[in-house]
A and B are shown apart, each in its own frame.
Chain A
Amino acid sequence: MTQFKQSRRNFMQTSAAAAAAFATGGVAGLGSALAARPKELNILCWEGYNSAQVLDPFRESKGATVKAESLTNDPTMINRLRAGEINVWDLINVNNPWARKIMYPEKLIKPLDRAKMEPYFEKMMPMFKPPYKWAMDDSGKELLGMCQRFGPYSFVVNTDKVSREAAEDQGWDLWNDPANSKKYGILESDDWNVFGLCCIAGFDPFKQHDDADVAKFTDAAKRVFRGAKMVGDIATMNQAMISGEIDFHLTGGTYSASPARHDGATNIRGITPKKGPMRDGLGGIAWIEVTSIVNNPDVSPLAAEFLEYVQDPKIAHTVAFAEGTFNPVAQMGSKECFDLFTKEELDAIQWDSLEEEMSRSIEYDIVPDYDKLLDIMTAAKREASGG
């Protein structure tokens, strides 16, 4: 139970601070007079980091009040900071491109103590060998965040209906085959669906697109949404595939398939195409989370401590299997962490093909004309209404 504990001495100190603040500049002054937040930490994150399994041991060991809000898309989180919540949050956990390409240039985050934090990258899986591109700023001098969860994220099939081999070979053309109309769903993940539709249309999502690309995208968006049996969240997609409503769904991978796989439905499998329209003919897209310290003027000292706390092998394992979705973590590069994963857990996160799938994927990046493509996709979805 939370108790209000305040001694007479504390009360007098607080009152004096408040009086001084009001005397010297009103409410704004009050904020700075009471600025120190040694026992408070606010985290803006994807689900998992907000779970009691992850946060409670930290709360208990630090005697801290830790609040975490989970959202399910990066742009919303970043715009929360842009809209003024930079004073609220201490840590932000988003996908790889945002830290170095958007948040650091816009001064929304601040660099970490590189000498202290970079050694943790040495213990991670080989792909995170320091200096790891997505954790660094453009100059390569500043460390902007710590990595943990990651995974390939292209699409998911029910291997009882479409074999892994066939799906990997056919790749994004699964959605160009008219025979597949009404056999698939679309995960409600609009930013990623833009990437997927670009691949279906036959071009790299992460480059500037010309009019011909936009026309192809428009056509693909209309066709794909008309042919979809439904659009829904992860639970709906997994349930629909298990029940036989659909055979595969757009946008998905370890992150979305793992809950079903962990529940025994190992025929639900994230697929990374063998080839595609991206750099070097790669067909898959992968995400890597980067957790950064917000450029909060009164940032909590617990922010850096939390980043170290989640590097612990046991906590890293807890993060990988926190409530919601299950994901590989970079810390599996250390034997101590890897040994904590059971055979079933490794199967749930498709450990058998993880390295292969990551090698076939390019990392998630910023789409230069995302706004335009999203508007086209939203209109296509709307126009497919009732169809």
Chain B
Amino acid sequence: MSLRKFAAGPLCALPIGLFLLIGFAAPLLAVIGFSFMPPRTFGLFLNPTLVNYIEIVDSTSYISFLWSLALAAVTVAILAVICYPVAYGMARIFGKWSMLVTLLFTIPLFVSENVRLYGWVLFFIKNGVLLGTLKSVFGIEADSWLFTTGIILWGMVYVYLPFMLFPMTLGVAMVPDQIREAALDLGATRWQVFREVELPLSMPGIMIGFLLSFVLAVGAITEAKVLGGQRVIPIIHDIEIAFTYAQNWPLGAALAVLLMLVVGFLVLLVLRRFDLDAILGRR
């Protein structure tokens, strides 16, 4: 009986365990393995070397790393400011209209990111929807907004907004009304209720939104390519060039491993500062 009990769990977990091993761990291990192979080779079992990592340290790849991290950090900051009021409205104010707001934010997700970004190109391009209208209706001739760092940020905020908004909305909805009311009854000001009750209690949702949008934004490439006209080269673009035109898979793999390490370190740093388990009340 005890043997059967012992075996049931691992046995049931075996299929999903194998699936994860093949689908998740194997590609990751292959990337890590490739990063130690000699440059511009295609085998996974050659003499390992650190030369790809040395090349990255000696190169100007740090520029791309910094751009990716900076753009992601600014995107998350802008999203936090934009999304909190909307999340608050969806959780507490909009009532039956919150479903409509949810739909308005989710429907664009059904359209490919590339198509939506090319739509923005047509909107912002010289003599396009915006500048063309300004010129023909008001006689205002403005410079193009495309192919700038600002427009890349615009695109990133636009694309990653739902990934911040919905976890944040869940976080705000987790705050019980009674606690807010109790705080107000005990004489807390509106600001004190926000700072000492609502914000800490909605922190799990906010943190998940931060992490999700940051990790996705660090991996962004299309916004810089389509809207930014490659005026900024994020690290993912460097990885793409290594795997395509340069045909230097080991270098691309080493860049990818470093990116994983940097992002993993930053995420762990945040998780140490904000313990999600503790916030969620599990311990």
Contacts and interface: CB of A to CB of B under 8 A. Distances in A.
A371 B40 contact: yes
B146 A230 contact: yes
Q: How large is the interface on B (under 10, 10 to 19, 20 to 34, 35 or more residues)?
A: 20 to 34
A239 B125 contact: yes
Interface string B232-245: 11000010010011
Interface in A232-263: 232, 235-236, 239-240, 243-245
B180 interface: no
A245 B238 CA distance: 26
B226 interface: yes
A180 B233 CA distance: 23
Contacts of A2: none
Interface stretch (A72-80, A298-306, A356-364): A72-80
Q: Is the interface of B mostly helix, strand, loop or mixed?
A: loop
Contacts of B147: 229-230, 245
Nearest to A383: B60
A76 B121 contact: no
A232 B226 contact: yes
B142 interface: no
B247 A75 contact: yes
A152 B283 CA distance: 69
A236 B67 contact: no
Contacts of B248: 371
A25 interface: no
A73 B245 contact: yes
Contacts of A379: 59-60
A282 B244 CA distance: 30
Interface stretch (A183-191, A211-219, A322-330, A332-340): A183-191
Contacts of A378: 238, 241, 246
B149 A386 contact: yes
A387 interface: yes
Nearest to B144: A245
A121 B241 CA distance: 37
B247 A385 contact: no
B230 interface: yes
B225 A232 contact: yes
Given A245-B144, A378-B238, 6 more contacts: A230-B228, A230-B229, A243-B126, A245-B126, A382-B233, A385-B233
17 contacts: A185-B229, A191-B245, A230-B230, A232-B225, A236-B121, A239-B122, A240-B125, A243-B128, A378-B241, A379-B59, A381-B233, A382-B61, A382-B63, A382-B64, A382-B238, A385-B63, A385-B232
